[in-house]
Amino acid sequence: MKTGKEYIESIRAMNFELYIDGGKINNVCDHPHVRPAIDAVAETYDFAFKPDLEEHVITRSNLTGDTISRFQHIPQSTDDLIRKVSITRYANRYLGICSFRCAQNIFGPLLHITHKIDKDKGTHYHDNALNWIKMMQKEDLLGCPAITDPKGDRRLQASKQPDPDMYLRVVDKNKEGITLRGAKLCQTGAVFSHEKFVMPCTTHRAGDEAYTVICAVPGNEKGIINISNRQSQDDRRTEGAEIDLGNIKYGFHESICIFDDVFVPWERVFMCGEVEYLDEFNNMFGACHRPTTGGCKSGWADVLVAATEMIAYGNGLAKVSHVRDKITDMIALTETMYSCGVAAAAQGTKLPGGFAYLPDPVLANNAKYYISKAVFDLIRLAEDVTGGILCCCPGEKELKNPEIAPYLERFMKGIDGVPAEYRIRMVRLIENLSWGLGSILHSAAHGGGSGQACKMLLYEFSQATPLREEARKSARRLCGIPV
Amino acid sequence: MKTGKEYIESIRAMNFELYIDGGKINNVCDHPHVRPAIDAVAETYDFAFKPDLEEHVITRSNLTGDTISRFQHIPQSTDDLIRKVSITRYANRYLGICSFRCAQNIFGPLLHITHKIDKDKGTHYHDNALNWIKMMQKEDLLGCPAITDPKGDRRLQASKQPDPDMYLRVVDKNKEGITLRGAKLCQTGAVFSHEKFVMPCTTHRAGDEAYTVICAVPGNEKGIINISNRQSQDDRRTEGAEIDLGNIKYGFHESICIFDDVFVPWERVFMCGEVEYLDEFNNMFGACHRPTTGGCKSGWADVLVAATEMIAYGNGLAKVSHVRDKITDMIALTETMYSCGVAAAAQGTKLPGGFAYLPDPVLANNAKYYISKAVFDLIRLAEDVTGGILCCCPGEKELKNPEIAPYLERFMKGIDGVPAEYRIRMVRLIENLSWGLGSILHSAAHGGGSGQACKMLLYEFSQATPLREEARKSARRLCGIPV
Amino acid sequence: MKTGKEYIESIRAMNFELYIDGGKINNVCDHPHVRPAIDAVAETYDFAFKPDLEEHVITRSNLTGDTISRFQHIPQSTDDLIRKVSITRYANRYLGICSFRCAQNIFGPLLHITHKIDKDKGTHYHDNALNWIKMMQKEDLLGCPAITDPKGDRRLQASKQPDPDMYLRVVDKNKEGITLRGAKLCQTGAVFSHEKFVMPCTTHRAGDEAYTVICAVPGNEKGIINISNRQSQDDRRTEGAEIDLGNIKYGFHESICIFDDVFVPWERVFMCGEVEYLDEFNNMFGACHRPTTGGCKSGWADVLVAATEMIAYGNGLAKVSHVRDKITDMIALTETMYSCGVAAAAQGTKLPGGFAYLPDPVLANNAKYYISKAVFDLIRLAEDVTGGILCCCPGEKELKNPEIAPYLERFMKGIDGVPAEYRIRMVRLIENLSWGLGSILHSAAHGGGSGQACKMLLYEFSQATPLREEARKSARRLCGIPV
Amino acid sequence: MKTGKEYIESIRAMNFELYIDGGKINNVCDHPHVRPAIDAVAETYDFAFKPDLEEHVITRSNLTGDTISRFQHIPQSTDDLIRKVSITRYANRYLGICSFRCAQNIFGPLLHITHKIDKDKGTHYHDNALNWIKMMQKEDLLGCPAITDPKGDRRLQASKQPDPDMYLRVVDKNKEGITLRGAKLCQTGAVFSHEKFVMPCTTHRAGDEAYTVICAVPGNEKGIINISNRQSQDDRRTEGAEIDLGNIKYGFHESICIFDDVFVPWERVFMCGEVEYLDEFNNMFGACHRPTTGGCKSGWADVLVAATEMIAYGNGLAKVSHVRDKITDMIALTETMYSCGVAAAAQGTKLPGGFAYLPDPVLANNAKYYISKAVFDLIRLAEDVTGGILCCCPGEKELKNPEIAPYLERFMKGIDGVPAEYRIRMVRLIENLSWGLGSILHSAAHGGGSGQACKMLLYEFSQATPLREEARKSARRLCGIPV
């Protein structure tokens, strides 16, 4: 397992190129917009070396028998599934921001689907997948799912788009491998992830075979062009800034990735054209991934609740009933998000082929749907309790201007014992968590599948369970209609 | 284990007395207001003999080694806890109404607290509890928690009430036992439960020792006076009624129980005056009980969803997008209620003394709080989709009046293939589930502790978890305040 | 203007026939299920003779110059529109139930559309309408809108239904008049209304001309068959019942009306086949009608808030912060419902022809949509504050049984000064208002158009306002896209 | 009346000093953080000269008979009150941001309370007020309410704070005038407003006389120290930025104002120490001010709805049912906010002394309470429909980098006809409206009084209306309790 330091060095060694600020850089580890996110990831690597976290973070690989991080583990039980949710809650509570460690949710579904295709079609995807996963575990690599296509006109399937590259596609295939062209958006952590896991963002249909490609690509592969996104308050991440960052330790970074004819050798290809298997894989990955949201959002929310409580304390309002009531509602939202994730894990089942445990897909999609709405209530309550200071607070340059600093120290203060600077630091943290860089809001709204996508899958999976039919029969029997 | 038939005979043999309809009866098994509830319970007894339910309903007692029903079992693992939630969902889905089988949630906390008191005080409550529980398991008896006191002026503690009997109390104590006076309200199933489990509904304080009593009393003990409640639509439960009942198979019954100097021998007493242990017991029982709500309410909701879907189908609207959308929201509410229950179970821990597994108290209270609000959204959506027919539908006497029946057959019909009578039966079921006799609404609002009580406990338990302190430290560290 | 007594006598004289309890009656004024609703209407007639209400209830007819009740008035200003909302709030607050006085919302749109058709087609509907309205005003008659058709398969237009009578239609036309066949459901107050106002419940399309009929029919016309609905808790309305009724003074009655070839002379016909005018009329009527909902639901809610407050007081909880908070949220919901109605009225405009003032159709439909959801929050909060007693309360027969009455007097009591009987009476009122006979819930869900119907109209009308286009241009201009 | 240009010149002439960016400036009209806000105000001045707005913007002063802007007018009718709400909706729809023109909501209450004090105490405040208001109208000046005190320990009243200046106070009084010391926070538009209107942010109590001061101060008075706040995304307002601003035309600016011994002559003082009148004034001002929120938030929301619709169109999703549904829910929230404001205005009444019309205080406070929650639903729905691009979008520097621009033009594009740049501009506008600089969120949460403050006033005012007592009597009468 890598330490945080080794992780950073391995990223530095990869020399990622990134278009940002109107130019191009290749030292992402030193850029103030990127480094704090790298530090967040490094912290999660260091978890593995903290004795008190050992039970939660370390496990044994079912593939190699090696000691590995749970962030690389394929769940072999519901306990494994639940622990994944819990460690993610821990990580986000520790970091106050995205922990970037969900890519392993792909491993189980990948082994399953490649095995199935190989059996049906005589392909060799499964061994490719197995080898790649073993490498990920052995070298303790960070993966970045490359899923979201530009999509162009959402009414049209991939092969019918006016621009044929609006979904990533295979433009060339030869004995050695395949060539990819197109783009992937919403690439969280792409410029500090060792590996890209490329998969379609939707269920392609017949005719879309060229678009049906799942494979792994080194993050700095030739032909990959990374373009930085501009997000809320990233401008504050300038030289010397601190207080105004809110989260002074960790950050977030997202980019767009252009695939300008990227070559992928066959041993890194896991699906190529088998359009009829895509739906199952996508849905299975969704089911694996979405319970994690229950962990990450509740961990994030833990920090928001704590910060809001401390602001209330600093205002002298900690024991006021409506404040207490709102804090409790924030806790209720947090624990319900977590419950949705844990329940999906606890009701997980072994995949037919036995490669992994899969969370319950109904509960998994329900979790993400619930969460996509709940976070807006969370930030509403946080803003309510925090008060007007949340958007009426001078920046740190003013705080440090000696001409006016004494005024601000007096007038931004709360109760005795809570200095103005502490109040302001906490306010900036709440601001950051709520709608700042890498906020809970945006991660919950669309990260890991939109609420609407999950709602539709919730319906579909729900209709497929025996429970629905049972309930229909019960309803008929109870009211006297022949079953 | 008893069959349903044996259960009914055992109840008949107990000759419960009940004040109802302005008079007194002692044949509850034949009264149209009570019998359908007895039939519901009987059905749950029969579960144990259905081969396909064996895995879900049958287990082995950790106390006696006997094969027992899970409805009598003390959970020995998180798996046991989760199965309790699941079997309750099944039961309520099967019955479309309360399944009356939660009393065993008391067993674990009871063994725990009696052991603790005995150790501290040299009392002999634990053996009493053990013997009583073994009897419950061996004879497969139905228990009825007797919790809710009249409470009078809610601002005053028990011993300060103008009327000293507003909380049940011990008015006499002698070598043989104790004498109880007072009343317990909201007695669900009291007149068809073998045993009453008497416990305080609140945490009494110093001075309230006489009110601090936990014991078991045979349901038909001398001095017990049962008075029937009048609930929504119970009037429809008259001779020969069917369609208008909605649920034509099962019912619900609740009463008030006066304790007019009821004697309880010491071997049935589990706490008597040890006021300082009450808070722990109450909260532990709440934590055991409330996840069950996630099961029962979701089972109920399964039927409501199914019925609503069938009405939509009968109207030709099954595939209309806003209808589909609302059905999906009903499913989401259902699965979130269930998730809250399952998660509390999955995060359960072994009690210090090892007597039982206890669900996570934060998540347990959160479950009930969530549910107390969610059901109102459920019935809103059901009413929305069902349409005006939900309150504009002739009764069965009109349906059977030959002069007008042909009109009703024509004009109450939906699409071809769905006769008027079927639509009406389904509408009556939705009416019953929503706000009829024993509806999900009322059970969710106050059954098993009000939403508000759970909200307050959610806050308290939450503050006590290491997680809160961890989050506070994290917030300070992240924004740069010395931890 | 009629007094309440005169109103009742006039209804008695009409000898309405009603199928109910499996038989047929013609003395509705003496039937315990119907009379309390008649009493409610009578009360609204008496409003006109109360000096302190004069300003609110009495006005001058713009058609005849006569002094008339506002319940018969065609609004001639936004002030008239607002007063309609306010007097309805008053009426429902006074009655605690539907006040049955909305039919005049038809008058304005009727005069408008008949004038338009006459102008285009040379018909004589306008004079028919004018004469009928003058009669309504002069004789102070109660009208009952007959709108809701059975609808059968909702996917099919009227003329394509397998059963041609699933929408009311004209089966014969001759020199004297037309003959109607079909049914109208959800007929609130039909058996004690002097006049039926028949109109389609949907916008018919080409081919549906036979279904496009608007006319007035005396409530007791030959061929009309009234069949009583069975609603929640109507069974309690038996001889001698009182406390358990909740609302001991007033009631509600709804029925189904079969039109078994009802003849209507031409002078009572206002539209017959002019399908292209129907949409405008329907939408205009909706816009007139829906603000009234803001009045009636808030009046109803006023009583629910007051009753809930008194229960809290009786429990000693009036000043507890979470109770105060919930009561305030109930008030907020109430005032928002009212605001939606008042705003639609205040933004009303004069109809092109000048026949009446029309509320703003966007705000009118928004009002009903908001209300259709808000009432469920209202009853949730009421149930929360009221407590378990809301469904755990013995009936009045038990209260009056001398053997047990003393127990109930003690144990159903709250604080000193609030006797058990008062608490129970108030609880029964809350039960009645919430989900009892004629509850706010059902009236809000589907009365006056379902929430969904209003939502769709809200969208349509909203798109048609200049404001939308203005906002689109503004958005483009603000972000730098050529307008 | 001033033109926009004249307004800007008048501000430039005042040489406001502002601490910002770690230094001090006195050319606010040229600073990129301030100028866009000044441009927004200037636009509202120009409204008065647009012929098509004349009816909505121009009126006659009841004080001077002069033609004045409605933004300076004291409402003399409910029509005036409603027009104030409507013109504010227009202004915010036009600007997509705060329109800064609410200060005149103070005029009516000020004339009322000063008249009352003078009558009771023989003071001369009323003439002072009258003269100041006439000057405001005549010179068409912009006022900035200076209300929010630092408040320190919220549990303590002003005179008991450890630091005596935590609420603004009078530190000296002499024949010529008074001297103010302290601070006012949340000063929206302070550095481009001609006049500050100083008033307490809370109801002071006996002992707080020194804190009870209402007066007017020229915005650039000696002793005033303005310190700029740092708000979300204000960093983007740098030289040359355009697309990333979202709103490329108008902006927002807020600051903190220190009163470092500011002298105010008596003729500008309207209350000084008369603590017993403060509650009435504060509440009256709240009632005048809060309906305006219904206008400004709905105007803002109009732009958000339009932008969200256009994004959906650009994605090819304009007609998808769930998108249509969400847009409609956004419209419903918008129109309900507006309705709450309009209704408070429509139900307004003439002040006893006749100085102005006052909106209904129950409905006014309800409006702000509703709005403080509704905006979070609005931005949730906007983010849902907009999709992941809302936080995954490259900045304009990348868009303009010729090396990668062609990629972005292809891959950020939606349907044919909607170029990438247009999509991105619209996304940036939504970002700005939602949580960017001067967003609707923050304005709704705490601007014009927090939701909680309004909720408490809603309760208080509501209890004082005859309606509540009427409803209580009605409830008792209806259920048979002697009234």
- The reported pLDDT for the residue numbered D165 is 98
- A382-395 in b/e form (b: 16+ CB < 10 A) is bbbbbbbbbbbbbb
- The reported pLDDT for the residue numbered D353 is 87
Q: pLDDT band at residue A442, thresholds of 50, 70 and 90?
A: confident
Residues across chain D: 483
Taking 90 as the threshold, does the pLDDT of residue C353 lie above it?
A: no
Q: pLDDT band at residue C351, thresholds of 50, 70 and 90?
A: very high
Contact assessment for residue B158 and residue B169, using Cβ atoms and an 8 Å cutoff: yes
Reduce the DSSP state of residue B25 to 3 states and report it: strand
State which H helix or E strand residue B226 sits in. strand B224-228
d(CA B122, CA B249): 50
pLDDT (tens digit per residue) in C311-321: 999 999 999 99
Strand partners, C178: C173, C264
Taking 90 as the threshold, does the pLDDT of residue A483 lie above it?
A: no
- The reported pLDDT for the residue numbered D483 is 86
- Select the residue of C152, C154, C442 nearest B391 (Cβ to Cβ): C442
In Å, how far is B22's CA from the nearest CA of chain A? 30
- The reported pLDDT for the residue numbered D357 is 97
- Chain B: residues touching D (Cβ < 8 Å): 321-322, 325
Residue A241 is which amino acid? Answer: A
- The reported pLDDT for the residue numbered C312 is 98
- The reported pLDDT for the residue numbered B177 is 98
DSSP code at position B349: E
Q: pLDDT band at residue B240, thresholds of 50, 70 and 90?
A: confident
- The reported pLDDT for the residue numbered D198 is 98
Q: What percent of chain B has pLDDT over 70?
A: 100
Residue B352 is which amino acid? Answer: P
- The reported pLDDT for the residue numbered D467 is 95
Taking 90 as the threshold, does the pLDDT of residue B209 lie above it?
A: yes
Q: Give the side-chain half-sphere CA count within 13 A for A14.
A: 25
Q: Pull the structure tokens for residue A174.
A: 């030869």
d(CA C285, CA C276): 16
- The reported pLDDT for the residue numbered C375 is 97
- Select the residue of C307, C332, C362 nearest D335 (Cβ to Cβ): C362
How many inter-chain contacts (A to B, CB under 8 Å) are there?
208
Residue of D nearest to C304 (CA): D475
pLDDT (tens digit per residue) in C411-466: 999 999 999 999 999 999 999 999 999 889 888 998 889 999 999 999 999 999 99
Taking 90 as the threshold, does the pLDDT of residue C328 lie above it?
A: yes
Q: Is A400 within 8 Å of D22 when comparing Cβ atoms?
A: yes
Q: Is A413 within 8 Å of D152 when comparing Cβ atoms?
A: yes
Mean confidence (pLDDT) of chain C: 96
Q: How far apart are the first and last CA of chain D?
A: 58
For each successive 10 residues of chain D (483 residues), what is the average pLDDT? 97 98 96 97 97 95 97 97 97 96 95 98 98 98 97 97 98 98 97 98 96 98 98 89 96 97 98 98 96 97 98 97 97 98 98 95 98 97 96 95 98 96 98 92 90 97 95 97 92
Residues across chain B: 483
- Select the residue of D258, D394, D411 nearest A411 (Cβ to Cβ): D258
Chain A interface mutation, best of B335, B440, B465, highest count of A Cβ atoms under 10 Å: B335
Mean confidence (pLDDT) of chain A: 96
- The reported pLDDT for the residue numbered A353 is 87
- Select the residue of D305, D363, D475 nearest C429 (Cβ to Cβ): D475
Residues across chain C: 483
- The reported pLDDT for the residue numbered D238 is 85
Reduce the DSSP state of residue A116 to 3 states and report it: helix
- Select the residue of C328, C363, C474 nearest D335 (Cβ to Cβ): C363
Alpha helix (H) residue ranges in D15-69: 35-47, 54-57
For C320, phi and psi rounded to 5 degrees? -70, 135
Average pLDDT value for residue range C56-85: 97
pTM of the entire predicted model: 0.98
- The reported pLDDT for the residue numbered B442 is 87
- Phi-psi map region of B22: left, alpha, beta (phi>0 left; psi -120 to 50 alpha): left
Q: Is B363 within 8 Å of A307 when comparing Cβ atoms?
A: no
Reduce the DSSP state of residue C67 to 3 states and report it: strand
Reduce the DSSP state of residue C132 to 3 states and report it: helix
d(CA C442, CA B390): 8
Short-list C303, C187, C188, CA closest to C251:
C188
Residues of chain D with Cβ-Cβ distance to A244 below 8 Å are 230
Taking 90 as the threshold, does the pLDDT of residue A8 lie above it?
A: yes
Residue of C nearest to D324 (CA): C459
d(CA C127, CA C143): 19
d(CA C109, CA C115): 10
Going by their DSSP bridges, the two strands B58-60 and D357-358 should be labelled as unpaired
d(CA A41, CA A27): 17
In Å, how far is A380's CA from the nearest CA of chain D? 7
In Å, how far is D355's CA from the nearest CA of chain A? 32
Taking 90 as the threshold, does the pLDDT of residue B353 lie above it?
A: no
Cβ-based neighbours of A402, under 8 Å, separated by 6 or more:
none
d(CA A27, CA A342): 39
d(CA D311, CA D419): 12
Taking 90 as the threshold, does the pLDDT of residue B333 lie above it?
A: yes
d(CA A177, CA B1): 66
How many inter-chain contacts (A to D, CB under 8 Å) are there?
240
Contact assessment for residue B195 and residue B141, using Cβ atoms and an 8 Å cutoff: yes
Taking 90 as the threshold, does the pLDDT of residue A238 lie above it?
A: no
pLDDT (tens digit per residue) in A309-338: 999 999 999 999 999 999 999 999 999 999
- The reported pLDDT for the residue numbered C79 is 97
Taking 90 as the threshold, does the pLDDT of residue A262 lie above it?
A: yes
Residues of chain D with Cβ-Cβ distance to C363 below 8 Å are 335, 338-339, 342
Cβ-based neighbours of C456, under 8 Å, separated by 6 or more:
D328
d(CA D388, CA A301): 21
pLDDT (tens digit per residue) in B249-305: 999 999 999 999 999 999 999 999 999 999 999 999 999 999 999 999 999 999 999
Contact assessment for residue B377 and residue B305, using Cβ atoms and an 8 Å cutoff: no
CA distances (Å), origin D392, targets A447, A449, D416: 11, 14, 21
Q: Is B455 within 8 Å of A248 when comparing Cβ atoms?
A: no
pLDDT (tens digit per residue) in B126-174: 999 999 999 999 999 999 999 999 999 999 999 999 999 999 999 999 9
Alpha helix (H) residue ranges in B15-106: 35-47, 54-57, 78-95
Taking 90 as the threshold, does the pLDDT of residue C238 lie above it?
A: no
Q: Is C342 within 8 Å of D339 when comparing Cβ atoms?
A: yes
DSSP labels for A281-333?
Answer: HHHHHHHHHHHHHHHHHHHHHHHHHHHHHHHHHHTT-TT-HHHHHHHHHHHHH
Q: Pull the structure tokens for residue C326.
A: 């919930």
- The reported pLDDT for the residue numbered C209 is 98
CA distances (Å), origin B57, targets A83, B68, B416, C378: 28, 8, 41, 40
Residues of chain D with Cβ-Cβ distance to B321 below 8 Å are 321-322, 325
- The reported pLDDT for the residue numbered B293 is 96
Average pLDDT value for residue range C152-181: 97
Residues of chain D with Cβ-Cβ distance to B322 below 8 Å are 321, 325
- Select the residue of D153, D183, D228 nearest A414 (Cβ to Cβ): D153
d(CA C358, CA C350): 6
Average pLDDT value for residue range A262-268: 98
Residues of chain B with Cβ-Cβ distance to A342 below 8 Å are 339, 342-343, 346-347, 363
Cβ-based neighbours of A91, under 8 Å, separated by 6 or more:
A44, A47, A99, A101, A296, A299
In Å, how far is C151's CA from the nearest CA of chain B? 8
Q: Pull the structure tokens for residue C142.
A: 């109660």
Instruction: For the sheet with B224-228, list strands across it.
Output: B23-25, B18-20, B224-228, B254-265, B177-188, B169-173
